[in-house]
Amino acid sequence: MNFEQPTPEKESNPEKTNEMQIKLALRFYGFDSDEKVMNWIQEYSPQFREVINQHPKYMQEYEHNPEETLDKIEREMYEKIER
């Protein structure tokens, strides 16, 4: 299942960004539910993409330290939403 479409102007790894979004959704809801994951992606994917575009280094950081990187992404995403 592919949630994001690659764009030619940006380095893209849809498999990795999909995995990251699924993990963020699971953290958000605290349990596994395909329906909830899809709801999260529909609602928060634009904020996720904005954070990744602003901080492309998170893609590399995720390889070495996924949980810490997801923490950073969450903080930035939800901070933007609260504004």
Q: Does residue 61 form part of some domain? A: yes
Q: Does residue 18 form part of some domain? A: no
> Which tens digit of pLDDT belongs to each residue from 8-61?
445 568 999 999 999 999 999 998 899 999 999 999 999 999 999 999 999 999
- What pLDDT does residue 8 have? 41
Q: Does residue 11 form part of some domain? A: no
Cα gap 7→10, rounded to integer Å: 6
Q: Does residue 47 form part of some domain? A: yes
Q: Does residue 4 form part of some domain? A: no
Q: Does residue 14 form part of some domain? A: no
Domain range enclosing 37: 31-82
> Which tens digit of pLDDT belongs to each residue from 53-65?
999 999 999 999 9
Q: How many domains does the chain have?
A: 1
Q: What one-character-per-residue DSSP string does 10-60 give?
A: S---HHHHHHHHHHHHHHHHSS--HHHHHHHHHHHHHHHHHHHHH-THHHH
